[in-house]
Amino acid sequence: MSSCTRLLYFVKHRSLWAHVRRNVTTWSPVGAAFNAKPQRRQNLLEKNVGLFGVSELSCPAGFQAATETALRNTRRLVDKVISGPSGVETVESFDQLSDELCKVADLADFVKVAHPDPAFREAAEKSCIEIGTVVEKLNTNVELCNSLKKLLDNPDTVSQLDPDSRRVAELFMFDFEISGIHLDEKLRKEAVALHVKLLDLNNEFLVNSHQPNRIARSAIPEHLHLHFASEGSFIQVGGLHADSPDDLVREIAYRIYLYPNADLMKCLEELLKCRYKMAKLVGYESYAHRALKGTMAKTPETVMSFLQLLTDKLSDKTAKDFTMMSNMKKKLNPLNAELMPWDHPYLSGVLRAERFNIEPSLYSPYFSLGACMEGLNHLFSQLYGVSLMSEQPSAGEVWNEDVRKLAVVHETEGLFGYIYCDFFQRQNKPHQDCHFTIRGGRWLQEMGKYQLPVVVLMLSLPHPTQRAPTLLTPGMMENLFHEMGHAMHSMLGRTRYQHVTGTRCATDFAEVPSILMEYFASDYRVVSQFARHYETGQPLPKSMVARLCESKKVCGAADTQLQIFYAVLDQIYHSQPQNRSTTEILQEMQNKFYGLPYTPNTAWQQRFSHLIGYGAKYYSYLMSRAVASMVWKQCFVQDPLNREMGERYRREMLAHGGAKEPMQMVEGMLQRQPTMEEFVDALDSELNPNFETFLMDSES
Ligand SMILES: [Zn+2]
């Protein structure tokens, strides 16, 4: 409680800070916290409060204790659900049960990948496995399922549920369904067997899709050996080397890395077959039909029509992009001029650099981490009236000294939640920008208050040096804004149930809040509020921001078309079984939806590891982007700092997490029903050049 009042005190006196800020080296609290080195903790006698303030987690062995407590509470709640009356209490108990398990499992999921101490990582991994096993058992607990079924099958009890409780009850039921629990004994056994088999196949595909391929050293020209790893008399190719300026290196990498691996292909074919069988068994037309239930798109037909419309709309722009790449290839290599799939990423980079001078080191002095954090703080206070307040973590609360803790505080409503910022590179830390939910928000009926959400944002930024704070490239700055979009979705969500907290929403909606932040990050009115040279205090020139925005449009249609091709492939693989191999399907879809020719004896799909986690939902990013683009253009482009729009956005979209139909949230925000054509137009129109930029450049 005391920390909360202290934070409110800070909020009330924030305006004072603005007045005393005379030069760039004085930041208000959040900026200062990120531009300074962390203070070394002196007091060794201070009590260890445990990771994230969970008292058991002051040592690795604490994971066992926390897991046991969670499992004990789970058993109690299972009994309560089974023996209790049918009604809203059933949904509440289910959510509480899920909260008990998630509280430990989500935290452990993070710790097992991010903690620098292997003992903590191992203990967390054990907890994950233990809880995973219990969840598997609960998913096949007939009595538990029946209590939910009883509730949902009775029109009287259903009619008494509020919309949120009903949706959450249906979501829990959806999880049960996949284990075939509602089927008769024989079919249920079949479903369980399929489920087990699928877990193995998923794992096998995930692991092997990242394995390098190898080839005899003698098979490739000697002067190229240095580009690849060696293994005795073999050369190992572990990736596409897509950015290599050497045509031949890219071609060799493409042909070898994607050379078909018979076992992997068999694994994929088997996996898709099992997914289809499973979906049919539990009552769906195809795996895609099941996966898309509850999403914004709702059906595979809608997804395919979106992808087809987008392809048609972009076709002229895509053709122009490929012509540009072809011409560039002719210029660079007149002898070997045909444009091939391995040229696309490299040549689009060359074209971008040639057209616009966007060398990252020109920008980064203006984007010190502290300045960017201050910019986010300022933006959020303008849009939602919330501030990011830097708070000193207690002893043992964080896993590494450089982790910062932010309290998210509303000007009148008080503390909203906590964001732990694990921003800096370190050994053994995954090199991945990521948002983790550590604790979901939910209404605590018994205590009459809200369980505050807790999240971690993980980035891999360079450390500050003696001479300079951490400086971000434009790409890093955009990623920071993107991840903060996820974090604010978690913080501003106020769902009654944690099962649908913040980012726990439909996959094709989940990226809307984060992509929307990318639009803010490229708008000069937002950027000019914080981008100052860390040494001179000079503001970032407007023409430089404009150039950055224009550069993203170079080859943008071709890049989008490549994503469409992948999304289509994912849809077809998860539709009804096709009487042809995954490679034959790939070849046809590549011709129809991409434009660059298929290369014989390659099988790109065996590297498509997103098929596991995103099965039938790879289109999600494109659709989220379309919605974010519409929201930006309709609601924020006029005035990106408009409080009224910020409030509407919070109320209509962010507050609901996954508790509301995603399309209803979009309609609430846009105040009308958008059409698929409008989605497509939004993505198309953002590729149109802005002629003002060229004028600005010719003036400067
Ligand atoms: Zn994201």
pLDDT at 233: 92
> How close is the Cα of 313 to the center of ligand 1, in Å?
26
CB 224 within 8 A of CB 252: yes
- Beta bridge partner(s), residue 442: 451
CB 679 within 8 A of CB 625: no
> How close is the Cα of 536 to the center of ligand 1, in Å?
34
Token digits of residue 7: 């934070």
> How close is the Cα of 503 to the center of ligand 1, in Å?
10
> How close is the Cα of 375 to the center of ligand 1, in Å?
20
What residues are labeled active site? 483
pLDDT at 179: 74
pLDDT at 192: 84
The residue written with tokens 């991994």 in the block is 125
> How close is the Cα of 93 to the center of ligand 1, in Å?
31
Q: What value does the CA radius of gyration of the chain take, rounded to a whole number of Å?
A: 26
- The 3-state DSSP class for residue 517 equals helix
pLDDT at 246: 93
> How close is the Cα of 157 to the center of ligand 1, in Å?
38
In the sheet that 213-216 helps form, which strands lie side by side, from edge to edge? Answer: 213-216, 234-237, 229-231
Ordered mean pLDDT values, 10 residues apiece, the chain (700 residues): 29 28 44 73 78 96 97 95 91 94 95 96 95 88 91 93 94 85 86 90 95 92 91 93 94 96 96 96 94 95 98 97 96 87 95 89 96 97 96 94 95 96 93 94 93 97 94 96 98 96 95 97 96 95 92 95 98 95 97 95 96 95 97 97 98 96 97 96 93 60
- Measure Cα distances from 577 to 139, 266, 286, 303, 587 in Å: 28, 15, 9, 18, 17
Write down the H helix ranges in 529-633.
Answer: 542-551, 556-573, 582-593, 610-614, 620-631
According to DSSP, the β-strands at 454-461 and 414-424 are: parallel
> How close is the Cα of 12 to the center of ligand 1, in Å?
33
> How close is the Cα of 511 to the center of ligand 1, in Å?
5
Token digits of residue 197: 């088999």
Q: Any residues with CB less than 8 A from the CB of 682 and at least 6 apart, and which?
A: 626, 629, 630, 633
> How close is the Cα of 457 to the center of ligand 1, in Å?
11
Residues with CB under 5 A from ligand 1 (ion): 514
pLDDT at 178: 76
> How close is the Cα of 486 to the center of ligand 1, in Å?
7
Token digits of residue 296: 């914004």
Long-range (24+ apart) CB contacts under 8 A made by 343-349 are 343/247, 343/250, 344/555, 344/558, 344/562, 344/596, 345/242, 345/243, 346/242, 346/243, 346/244, 346/245, 346/250, 347/555, 348/321, 348/554, 348/555, 348/558, 348/559, 349/243
Nearest partner of 426 among 406, 388, 398, 467, judged by Cα: 398
> How close is the Cα of 17 to the center of ligand 1, in Å?
33
pLDDT at 356: 87
Distance (Å, rounded) from C-alpha 385 to C-alpha 411? 6
> How close is the Cα of 435 to the center of ligand 1, in Å?
8
pLDDT at 31: 80
In the sheet that 414-424 helps form, which strands lie side by side, from edge to edge? Answer: 386-391, 404-410, 414-424, 454-461, 434-439
pLDDT at 577: 93
Tens of pLDDT, residue by residue over 496-523, are 999 999 999 999 999 999 999 999 999 9
Nearest partner of 589 among 575, 608, 601, 573, judged by Cα: 573
- The 3-state DSSP class for residue 208 equals helix
Tens of pLDDT, residue by residue over 628-672, are 999 999 999 999 999 999 999 999 999 999 999 999 999 999 999
Sketch out the chain's domains with CATH numbers. 51-182 (1.20.1050.40)
